[in-house]
């Protein structure tokens, strides 16, 4: 894989303005989350292209000024107010879908991309280097973690080809409705299963992401639970075996 054809996508909503199912809703708290995360990702030497999209129309001068100081990569800042264009009962996940739509329409960087990584914009992945190596050497069209009998995808971080993003993730995430219990994670899982059924190569992520940040839904700090991580590691070995041998 050509590293210059890989793009990191960071999605952001700084001012959620009454979004349903969201307890981390203080603007200053969220802004500080994004500042910390943005600095982390901009200073990753293994990433050459970054798209940061914010969908509440918040002033992005801080991020633009920070990006101008980074000389070893392309960083695109996209501002939009699309978070005010839909019924908030659909939830924050639908806003994520609209961010994807906006990127496809307006991003210059994405036009030259062949692969993408999507990360929740407020979060840092402390073991990203290991996950990144897994992505670039996977030789797969899709690499992410499917759980709950393949019905739920860990959308904190996932990887795929531009074809997967445009032709599977985009149409499936249009079905997000948090009130009805159809979350972003369900839709990314649906996209993965449909793409795999139609011949795309899927790899179950072997590394459990160590996410640093706050959970938006309940405003609790994400904790790295090492016993759970070890359990998931060994369970993941079995799951990857069954998936790769088509026993699921």
Residue 169: which of 107, 106, 98 has the closest Cα?
Answer: 98
What is the reported pLDDT for 132? 96
Mean pLDDT of 27-34: 97
Does residue 21 have a pLDDT over 90? no
| Residue 6 predicted with pLDDT over 90 | yes
pLDDT value at residue 229: 54
- Residue 136 CB neighbour total at 10 angstroms: 17
Contacts of 226 (CB under 8 A, 6+ apart): none
> What confidence score (pLDDT) does residue 241 get?
58
Q: At 138, is the pLDDT very low, low, confident or very high (cuts 50, 70, 90)?
A: confident
What average pLDDT is seen over the chain? 91
d(CA 10, CA 155): 12
Give the CA-trace dihedral at 106, 158, 156, 61, to 10 degrees: -30
Between 20 and 29, the more confident residue is 29
Closest CA to 94 of 202, 180, 10: 180
Cross-strand pairs, 93: none
| Per-residue pLDDT at 242 | 58
Residue 117 Ramachandran class (φ > 0 left, ψ -120 to 50 alpha, else beta): beta
**What average pLDDT does this structure show over 219-243?**
60
Euclidean distance between CA atoms 22 and 184, whole angstroms: 14
Instruction: Say yes or no to pLDDT of 230 above 70.
Output: no
The token duo for 145 is 């973690």
- Phi, psi of 7, deg, nearest 5: -125, 130
| Cα 70–chain centre separation | 22
Residue 222 banded pLDDT, cuts 50, 70, 90 = confident
Question: What's the confidence (pLDDT) of residue 248?
Answer: 46
Instruction: Give 237's pLDDT tier (boundaries 50, 70, 90).
Output: low
Q: What is the pLDDT of residue 2?
A: 79
Greater confidence, 242 or 208?
208
What are 92-113's pLDDT values in tens digits? 999 999 999 999 999 999 999 9
State the burial class of residue 240 (Cβ atoms within 10 Å of its Cβ: 0-12, 13-18, 19+).
middle
Q: How far is CA 3 from the centre of its chain?
A: 18
Give the rounded percent of residues in the chain with a pLDDT score beyond 70: 90
Helix (H/G/I), strand (E/B), else coil: 76:
strand
Q: What is the pLDDT of residue 18?
A: 83
Is the distance from CB of 9 to CB of 54 less than 8 angstroms? no
C-alpha span between 234 and 12 (Å, rounded)? 33
CB neighbour list of residue 124: distance below 8 Å, 6 or more residues apart? 36, 37, 40, 211, 212, 213
Kindly report the pTM of this predicted structure. Answer: 0.89
- 8 Å CB contact between 93 and 184: yes
Q: Which residue has the higher pLDDT, 241 or 138?
A: 138
Look at residue 20 and give its three-state secondary structure.
Answer: coil
pLDDT of residue 231: 54
- The pLDDT value recorded for residue 245 is 60
Write out the H or E segment, with its range, that includes residue 242: helix 226-244
């Amino acid at each position: 894989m050509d590293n210059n054809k890989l793009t990191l996508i960071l999605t952001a909503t700084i001012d959620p303005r009454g979004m349903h199912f969201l307890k981390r809703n203080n603007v200053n708290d969220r802004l500080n989350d994004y500042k910390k995360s943005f600095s982390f990702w901009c200073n990753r030497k293994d990433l050459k292209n970054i798209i940061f999209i914010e969908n509440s129309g918040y002033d992005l001068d801080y991020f633009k000024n920070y990006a101008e100081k980074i000389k070893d990569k392309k960083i695109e800042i996209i501002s939009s107010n699309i978070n005010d264009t839909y019924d908030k009962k659909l939830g924050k996940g639908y806003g994520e879908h609209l961010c994807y739509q906006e990127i496809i329409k307006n991003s210059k960087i994405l036009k030259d991309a062949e692969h993408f990584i999507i990360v929740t914009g407020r979060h840092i992945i402390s073991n990203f280097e290991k996950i990144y190596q897994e992505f670039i050497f996977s030789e797969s069209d899709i690499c992410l973690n499917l759980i709950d009998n393949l019905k739920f995808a860990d959308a904190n971080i996932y990887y795929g080809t531009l074809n997967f993003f445009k032709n599977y993730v985009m149409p499936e995430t249009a079905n997000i409705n948090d009130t009805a219990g159809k979350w972003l994670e369900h839709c990314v899982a649906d996209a993965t299963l449909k793409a795999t059924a139609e011949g795309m190569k899927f790899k179950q992520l072997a590394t459990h992401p160590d996410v640093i940040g706050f959970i938006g839904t309940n405003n609790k700090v994400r904790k790295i639970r090492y016993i759970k991580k070890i359990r998931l590691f060994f369970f993941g070995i079995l799951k990857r075996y069954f998936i790769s041998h088509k026993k699921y």
